A and B are shown apart, each in its own frame.
Chain A
Amino acid sequence: MNWLFNNLGLVWSLSLEHIALSIPPVIIGFVVAIPLGWLAHRYRLTRGILLTIVGLLYTIPSLALLVILPPLIGIRVVSSTNVVVALSIYAVALMVRSTTDALDSVDADIKQSATAVGYSSWRRFWAVEFPIAGPVLLAGLRVVAVSTVSLVTIAQLVGVRSLGYLFTNGLQRFIPVEIITGVVMTVVIALVFDRLLVLLGRVLMPWTRTAATSRSAKRRVLAMEVTS
């Protein structure tokens, strides 16, 4: 335990660096996936193409992606840009699938009613479909946030500092406490992200607290837990 008390400053600064690397991919994933998810939801052709590409991207192991990406987009391997871009790719890949599922879960009758009372398709998307798809989107975003926080540790292997430093350094110096501290901090950050998203969901979607979520939405949330 001595190691922990002597290195609280290091753990704190690594945690901050870890958080700084984790936030951009989650936000980028959410924003980029909205138009792509809509495209996949709306047209059969783009659905096939997009979901296949996204599936392939998600299949590439993270360490391999961190090496393949730099020459493709002309950046250095050891740079936080590389890590953020790689993790954003995973986040987008996961979120496109969730967004498609989420938009699919909106009852066709609701959409027709919205059109019938005079919504344009742009307004209908933002005022009706997007909020109703919210709970499924949130479930997807939670998965993305938690897995991003955990994946950031891999960045250490290509030399970008994160809590992963405690794993490699702890192994080299035979300090189990150091590794355990790293694992615990990573899990804690992931759980805090998760809780924050749940709270944000309650604030932005107050109706989910009262009205029971529809059966199909529930099933989609469950399916997402399984498939990602």
Chain B
Amino acid sequence: MSLFWEAIQWIFTPVWTIINTQRENDIITRLGEHLGYTFVSLVAATIIAVPIGYAIGHTGKGREIAIGLSGAARAIPSLGLLTILALALGFSRTPIAAVIVFLVLGMPSILAGAYAGIESIDKRTIDAARAVGMTEWQILTKVEIPLGLPLLIGGVRNAALQIVATATLAAYIGLGGLGVYIFEGLPIRNFTEMLGGAILIAVVAILLDGFFAVIQHFAVPRGVTAGQVKEVRTRSVRPRAVAGLSADSGKG
């Protein structure tokens, strides 16, 4: 446990002494880089993936491609993708390589979130919207997007998690970020620095995830929460009698 205490002290030390050299605490700069990469890649991935996901969800075409794609993306090792792109684009353009890798990693989750959000809506709701005379565009913007929002944000949340974790690897190709401390400490066996860096990365990831959890919570439309059955236990899937209706008819 003393190792953890030392690592936490390291985080708050203003000037670090590494062997014989002194260096100023640059955690804030590294944190900025880390979050910068995460933010840029996440926004880019969202801009690309959401329209495609909505197109798939609304038309119901290309679902298999989307599922297959997100499955395949899970199998691709991020370190491999990062190193091959760094090599292909040259060392002067490694930031572009990094953003492309993070974007590719984040896109499938967002894509899946966007189409699954629409897919999960009761088809009768959409038929009803069509029956009252909504245009396809109105159905998409007024029914499908709001009802599918929580799942979309769930997808963005997964993507953010994936990206913030992988951004640690940016340091491996010399791009900074919080991963720097792990790669710096490893060869000289400076375990305090490695552990301090690892703790910082874990805390950042958990906070980011918590942030999205809060957004996800507020993204559920009010009309949906009002009608939800607040029961966690398993229940029969057989349709129950509508509570208000059967009571009324009982009264005659």
Contact check, A179 vs B80: say whether CB atoms are below 8 A apart: yes
The digit string for A183-227, where 1 denotes a CB below 8 A from any CB of B, is 100110011001000000000000000000000100100110111
Identify which of A71, A106, A108, A147 contacts B195 (C-beta below 8 A): A71
- Which chain A residues have a beta carbon within 8 Å of chain B's beta carbons? 41, 44, 47, 55-56, 59-65, 67-68, 71, 77, 104, 106-109, 111, 143, 146-147, 149-151, 153-154, 156-159, 163-164, 166-168, 170-171, 174, 176, 179-180, 182-183, 186-187, 190-191, 194, 216, 219, 222-223, 225-228
| Complex Cα spacing A222 to B161, Å | 20
Contact A67-B3, Cβ < 8 Å, known A174-B87, A179-B84, A226-B151: no
Taking CB atoms, residues of chain B closer than 8 Å to A164 are 77, 79-80
- Which chain B residues have a beta carbon within 8 Å of chain A's beta carbons? 3-4, 67, 70-72, 74-84, 86-88, 109, 112-113, 116, 119-120, 151, 154-155, 158, 161, 164-166, 168-169, 172-173, 179, 182-183, 186, 191, 194-195, 197-199, 201-202, 205-206, 209, 232-238
Taking CB atoms, residues of chain A closer than 8 Å to B183 are 157
Identify which of A143, A151, A226 contacts B112 (C-beta below 8 A): A226
Taking CB atoms, residues of chain A closer than 8 Å to B3 are 71
Contact check, A167 vs B77: say whether CB atoms are below 8 A apart: yes
| Complex Cα spacing A109 to B195, Å | 51
Contact check, A68 vs B79: say whether CB atoms are below 8 A apart: no
Chain A nearest CB from B64 CB (Å) reads: 12
Contact check, A62 vs B165: say whether CB atoms are below 8 A apart: yes
| Complex Cα spacing A180 to B76, Å | 11
Contact check, A59 vs B209: say whether CB atoms are below 8 A apart: yes
Since A64-B199, A226-B109 are in contact, a sample of 15 more A-B pairs with Cβ atoms closer than 8 Å, ordered by chain A residue number, is: A63-B198, A64-B168, A67-B195, A168-B83, A170-B87, A179-B87, A182-B77, A183-B76, A186-B80, A187-B75, A190-B74, A216-B237, A226-B151, A226-B158, A227-B158
Identify which of A44, A153, A163, A227 contacts B154 (C-beta below 8 A): A227
Chain A nearest CB from B38 CB (Å) reads: 11
Chain B nearest CB from A167 CB (Å) reads: 4
Taking CB atoms, residues of chain B closer than 8 Å to A174 are 87
Chain B nearest CB from A38 CB (Å) reads: 12
Contact check, A61 vs B165: say whether CB atoms are below 8 A apart: yes
| Complex Cα spacing A170 to B205, Å | 29
| Complex Cα spacing A108 to B236, Å | 5
Chain B contact surface mostly: helix
Identify which of B67, B81, B88, B202 contacts A225 (C-beta below 8 A): B67
Best-buried of B72, B80, B113, B182 by chain A (most CB within 10 Å): B80
CB-defined A-B contacts under 8 Å, sample of 5: A41-B234, A63-B182, A71-B195, A176-B87, A228-B158
Contact check, A59 vs B206: say whether CB atoms are below 8 A apart: yes
Chain B nearest CB from A46 CB (Å) reads: 12
| Complex Cα spacing A150 to B119, Å | 29
Q: Which residue of B lies closest to A216 (CB)?
A: B237
Taking CB atoms, residues of chain A closer than 8 Å to B112 are 225-226
Taking CB atoms, residues of chain A closer than 8 Å to B116 are 222-223, 225-226
Q: Which residue of A lies closest to B85 (CB)?
A: A179
Chain A nearest CB from B154 CB (Å) reads: 6
Chain A nearest CB from B65 CB (Å) reads: 13
Chain B nearest CB from A178 CB (Å) reads: 9
Q: Which residue of B lies closest to A169 (CB)?
A: B83
Taking CB atoms, residues of chain B closer than 8 Å to A187 are 72, 75-76
Q: Which residue of A lies closest to B235 (CB)?
A: A108
Taking CB atoms, residues of chain A closer than 8 Å to B119 are 222
Taking CB atoms, residues of chain A closer than 8 Å to B235 are 108
